[in-house]
Structure 1
Amino acid sequence: MAQPPAKKTLSVYLYIPNIIGYFRIIINFIAFAECYTNRTLFAILYFFSSFFCDGLDGWFARRFNQASTFGAVLDMVTDRVSTACLLALLSQFYRPGLVFILLLGLDITSHWFQMYSSFLSGKTSHKDVKHTGNGLLKLYYGYRPFMAFCCVASERFCTLSCFSMLTRSPQACLIRAEVF
């Protein structure tokens, strides 16, 4: 008696959210390269596109049940690369640039520690903070509107600060900081 053909499973590398992640990596590198040309508007649009796609990959992962450890790590690394590019640019535009380098170090180490400690404790996601005593992490990962606000505010500040310097227009940055 013939067996029905086995159901083919899609490779994790071809999941929709991961393809979005690959696309984000490409547009991040294009955006970073565009910052050194005269096409500054394109650079900012690429950074905004990458940020917008960051929200899409999570939605697609949940919608099509394609969440994976690979995807979580890819998303985290892509976010860190995007932030690193923006902060590296800002460290060149504004003095003292050390402020942005310190923020870069804080961003990378804090996310790495959170992800690594989550996996060491057997959690499937670094966003699982139900049994943590840290109230700030519970607020950030447990209340999506707060996390969205923090992410959007941070990305907006960085991209508009870059846009402000690239166009030499202080009005482009909606948040003016006298420190810089």
Structure 2
Amino acid sequence: MAKASGPRPKPRPKEGKLSVYLYIPNIIGYVRVLMNSVAFAICFSNKRAFSVLYFVSFVCDAIDGWCARKFNQVSTFGAVLDMVTDRVSTACLLVVLSQVYRPGLVFLSLLALDISSHWLQMYSTFLTGKTSHKDVKDSTNWLFKAYYGNRMFMAYCCVSCEVLYIILFLIAKSQSSLVDVLLGTLQQVSLLSVLVALSLFGWAAKQLVNVIQMKAAADVCVLYDIKKKQKQ
């Protein structure tokens, strides 16, 4: 029997390194880095401009994820660029807050928790062979699963953190007392006090998730070592 003749499908062109670097979501990532660089360069001279640039950069974090899915341009480099930009941006803001509030150690401790929690989670992801650090289906903690399993809840917690930090920066005075500023703001009957209260709840939930995440990721690393020794 003769084989059916017809035009052969053209093979997909191979992607080079440059094409991946120029993915739309990755370009958005570069713009985020630029905006954050400018924002922190002017943070003490123009608080409002800093806040706008910082928040727009934060919003772009959601846009680049949408673009990656929309245009089928998901990449490991893009995921790493996204996470590094997020962590560095938040870390820089926490360092700034530690300089204008007392006790500054509060913000430095939050910085350490944020970085160590996410770094351990990423490392444990590679150890278990998962493709995403957000894959926590096997977790037994309901809050941890709810955070990564519900986009709306996760977005609320993340936005709450950034909004709270930006507000604290905007209303801060030199060497302000963190407790006094928070209590003074919450005691007022205003839109700002409502926004701070809502942000505090989401912020607290995210810090709790960070603690749970760090413990869960550390357990994965320990179990990996135990299994590795058992095979020897």
Q: CA deviation at 1:40?
A: 1.7
Q: 2 CA distance for matches of 1:6 and 1:51?
A: 35
Name which of 58, 67, 73 aligns with 1:66. 73
Equivalent residue letter for 1:92: Q
Q: 1 CA distance for matches of 2:10 and 2:155?
A: 46
Larger Rg: 2
Alignment deviations for residues 87-114 of structure 1 (CA, whole Å, 9 cap, x no partner): 0111011100000000000000001111
Alignment partner of 1:105 is 2:126: no
**Cα distance, 1:5–1:117 mapped onto 2, change above 3 Å:** closer
| Equivalent position of 1:151 in the other structure | 158
Alignment partner of 1:161 is 2:182: no
Q: CA deviation at 1:8?
A: 4.9
Alignment deviations for residues 105-148 of structure 1 (CA, whole Å, 9 cap, x no partner): 00000011111111221111111112233333211110111101
Name which of 183, 192, 196 aligns with 1:175. 196
Q: Percent identity?
A: 58
RMSD over equivalenced CA pairs, Å:
2.5
- Taking the TM superposition and a 5 Å limit, the aligned residue runs for 1:109-148 are 109-148=116-155
Name which of 36, 42, 48 aligns with 1:34. 42
Q: CA deviation at 1:166?
A: 6.6
| Equivalent position of 1:94 in the other structure | 101
Alignment partner of 1:12 is 2:33: no
Secondary structure at 2:166's aligned position in 1?
helix
Alignment deviations for residues 129-174 of structure 1 (CA, whole Å, 9 cap, x no partner): 1223333321111011110110110010011111112799986674
Gaps of 5+ in 2: 1-8, 186-191, 201-232
Equivalent residue letter for 1:76: M
Q: 2 CA distance for matches of 1:141 and 1:148?
A: 10
Q: 2 CA distance for matches of 1:4 and 1:126?
A: 36
Normalising by structure 1, we get a TM-score of: 0.87
Q: 2 CA distance for matches of 1:4 and 1:12?
A: 21
Q: 2 CA distance for matches of 1:6 and 1:101?
A: 49
Q: 1 CA distance for matches of 2:12 and 2:133?
A: 33
Paired residues of 1:69 and 1:124 also in contact (CA < 8 A): no
**Cα distance, 1:138–1:6 mapped onto 2, change above 3 Å:** closer
